[in-house]
């Protein structure tokens, strides 16, 4: 007698997992992927299709990096969540993902010095932990941004305002959905409690990786401050801690995660002792009871390039008491191995999930994957390289 559907052996990546109060049906996470199709920094209707294509019942998804304020921008056409128009524009996207039964977190970010005056309000200098200028380089989006402007070092007095921008962005994200409409027992009419019962994003991921503003405080290769936000490891991590404190106070620790890349040197943001930095962050942030820690593998030293590496995230995985998500160059085989060997609870996939909107299904049947086309990653096109990758049944 053959196996029933329930008895069918599952690969580790497809085993169910309880992420706090969320019941996941598999461990394949949609990584945050900057797409540069949010014209004038406002999410567009074509994002409804893009995200819902990749949504599965019980799947866990992260948005592309989403700006917390008008000073947070460093790339063309990236979304924000600091204006009412932006919040409204996220609503149909969130609703479409929820309609498929997926869990959806909004990744909030600030680019810091990875910007120029053209992206900044009133043509101001970008803000950072430092006034050290980033050298010109070809960026991950293949734009030759020769125009990085010298940043302005934030004063100690200004930092609470930036922390508050993250807090407000988190609040906005939790409100970016349809209000629940309930019948009050003493009334014959429907009453909408929008503020209290908003069904927006399910949670928040704080972007603390890849050489952006939080990372510019964390790494001693960038942070040259002499105040309480610089110098010692404890001081360099203060900005990240204050943001986590603010966001968890706003939405609850059980709805907050953070992405970190202690080993990476993206945007000239390297650290002299990344293992100690990563371990300190894992231990410290664990004390806040946040839902998860999402770390980029040390093999991803430079953007998009996987290299041999002796360093490991395992000590951080052991130190962090919540869910541990890994990212960085994973495929089906080593994603399964990471879960099987208990090096991770969940695995985030970027380029493969972009090119294969039905990635969990392909993993299940071990189907060949569509090849991704790097040249279309950041086209400002509502379809090409965005929603036109075929599903398995379309290629059969």
Q: Which residues are catalytic?
A: 212
Residue pair 52/102 in contact by the 8 Å Cβ criterion: no
The Cα–Cα gap between 17 and 238 comes to 32
Asked if 96 contacts 52 with a C-beta cutoff of 8 angstroms, the reply is yes
| Residue 144: φ, ψ to 5° | -80, 90
d(CA 33, CA 326): 15
Here the tokens at position 112 are: 């810091």
* Paired tokens of 105: 């977190």
β-bridge pairing 103-109 and 203-208:
parallel
What gap in Å lies between CA 176 and CA 181, rounded to an integer?
A: 15
Please tell me whether residue 383 adopts helix, strand or coil conformation: coil
Give the integer Cα–Cα distance in Å for 347 and 60: 10
Nearest to 344 by CA among 295, 298, 289: 295
Question: What backbone phi and psi angles, to 5 degrees, belong to 307?
Answer: -135, 160
H-type helices in the chain, by residue range? 46-53, 84-99, 159-174, 213-218, 233-236, 238-251, 274-286, 314-319, 332-340, 351-355, 359-365, 392-395
The answer to whether residues 55 and 24 touch, using CB atoms and an 8 Å cutoff, is: no
Q: What does the DSSP 8-state code read for residue 266? A: G
Element (H, E) at 108: strand 103-109
Whole-angstrom Cα distance, residue 101 to residue 95? 10
How would you class 206 by CB atoms within 10 Å of its CB: exposed for 0-12, middle for 13-18, buried for 19 or more?
A: buried
Cα–Cα distances in angstroms (integers) from residue 347 to residues 59, 65, 85, 100, in the given order: 12, 18, 33, 20
Identify the three-state secondary structure at position 262. Answer: coil
């Amino acid at each position: 007698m053959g196996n029933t559907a329930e008895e069918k052996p599952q690969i580790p990546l497809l085993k169910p997992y309880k992420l706090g109060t969320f019941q996941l049906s598999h461990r394949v996470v949609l990584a945050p992927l900057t797409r540069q199709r949010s014209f004038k920094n406002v999410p567009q209707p074509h994002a409804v299709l893009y995200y819902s294509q990749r949504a599965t019942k019980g799947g866990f998804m992260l948005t592309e990096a989403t700006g917390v304020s008008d000073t947070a921008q460093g790339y063309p056409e990236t979304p924000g969540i600091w204006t009412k128009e932006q919040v409204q524009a996220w609503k149909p996207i969130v609703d479409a993902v929820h309609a498929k039964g997926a869990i959806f977190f909004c990744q909030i970010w600030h680019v810091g010095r990875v910007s120029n005056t053209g992206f900044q309000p009133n043509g101001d200098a970008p803000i950072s932990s430092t006034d050290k200028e980033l050298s010109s380089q070809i960026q991950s989006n293949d734009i030759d941004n020769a125009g990085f402007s010298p940043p302005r070092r934030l004063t100690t007095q200004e930092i609470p305002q930036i922390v508050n921008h993250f807090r407000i962005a988190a609040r906005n994200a939790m409100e970016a959905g349809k209000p629940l409409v309930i019948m009050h027992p003493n009334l014959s009419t429907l009453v909408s409690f929008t503020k209290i019962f908003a069904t927006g994003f399910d949670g928040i991921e704080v972007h603390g990786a890849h050489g952006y503003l939080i990372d510019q405080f964390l790494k001693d290769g960038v942070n040259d401050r002499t105040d309480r936000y610089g110098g010692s490891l404890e001081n360099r991590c203060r900005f990240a801690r204050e943001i986590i404190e603010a966001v968890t106070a706003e939405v609850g620790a059980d709805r907050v995660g953070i992405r970190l890349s202690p080993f990476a040197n993206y945007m000239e943001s390297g650290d002299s002792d990344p293992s100690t930095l990563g371990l300190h962050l894992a231990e410290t942030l664990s004390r806040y009871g946040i839902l998860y820690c999402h770390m980029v593998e040390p093999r991803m030293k430079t953007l998009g390039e996987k290299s041999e590496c002796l360093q490991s995230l395992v000590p951080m995985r052991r130190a962090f008491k919540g869910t541990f998500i890994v990212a960085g160059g994973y495929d089906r085989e080593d994603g399964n191995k990471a879960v099987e060997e208990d090096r991770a609870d969940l695995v985030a996939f970027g380029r493969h999930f972009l090119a294969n909107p039905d990635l969990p299904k392909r993993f299940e049947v071990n189907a060949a994957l569509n090849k991704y086309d790097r040249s279309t990653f950041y086209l400002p096109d509502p379809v090409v390289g965005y929603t036109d990758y075929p599903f398995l049944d379309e290629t059969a």
